[in-house]
Structure 1
Amino acid sequence: MTIRTGVYPGTFDPITLGHMDIIRRGAKLVDRLVIGVTTNPSKSPMFSVEERMAMVRREVADIGSEIHVVSFDALLMDFAEQEGASVIIRGLRAVADFEYEYQMAGMNQQLNNRIETVFLMADVALQPIASRLVKEIARFDGDISKFVSPAVCTEVAERVALNRQKKG
């Protein structure tokens, strides 16, 4: 029996309820789900890769499926090949996401046509959530509890306070 492995890549800075929705649903499509936590040079992370990996591990602990959280700093298709993946899982929030993701899927297929990209639409209630916006709301003391778990909410608040102390 072949084990079907999927990769769900992202920065997860921080992990949101939208990410968790895609993880739960993606885990049903594969036997083994690898959550690839990566750096994105165009984004300035609030949390280190190690902190984000720990956050994701804690948040997915109750899902019960075979989920592995690893970091990577390589081409996604090379990482997916290394993990033995046959599927890349990507979440879509809106039409704007689709254009970017469609282009990426096309480029990835050119790099490795043995790995399929599967798009999952985020739950309607979770579609507006983006880590970038969660951080922005938190920096202005807004309530992010509708967008992240209680533990992540606390971690973000602590990091915002720490960053203010460093600047002040």
Structure 2
Amino acid sequence: MTRVLITSDSHGLTEELTEIMDQHDEVDWYIHCGDSELDFDAEVLHPFYKVGGNCDFDPRYPTEEIKDIDGTRFFITHGHLHQVKSGLTTLSYAAEEHQAKVVCFGHTHIAGAEKIGEQLFINPGSIRMPRNRVEKTYAILEWLDNETVSVQFYTVDGQKIKNMSYSTIL
């Protein structure tokens, strides 16, 4: 069973990123959706597929990443260049151009997962400054079987948020 840990908008935090990774040794892949505010080669970010956000100034960050993880194409971006605060249409079109089924983004600091058409959108929220909820959040996507995936949201201390899980067929 493949597991992908997704985080975003950590805004300078390093100890918390390390703690999150330490709490989930079962994770196979790591994604950071931008606004880490760290250098591209910061040690804590080494295991992550990572993109730059509007608060990342290291020019080595790509604005988008396309990754195939166990046969599923991921589109990873921060979201500010796709106007995600106004909706997901522009982001959806960009992901569709790359035939991505899973779209990981941040920027809004609002945690959530939803499937629209054939695309699963995941915003892990923020581990520093969440919006629309008290908990500082990140997400783990895992395959339950060949087609069904689950997205579970966690607090920074590794506790599952009971009312924040989402399952769908990819």
What is the TM-score when the length of structure 2 is the normalising length? Answer: 0.35
The answer to which structure has the higher helix fraction is: 1
Structure number, greater radius of gyration:
1
- Name the structure with the higher strand share: 2
Higher relative contact order (CA closer than 8 Å, sequence separation 6+): 1
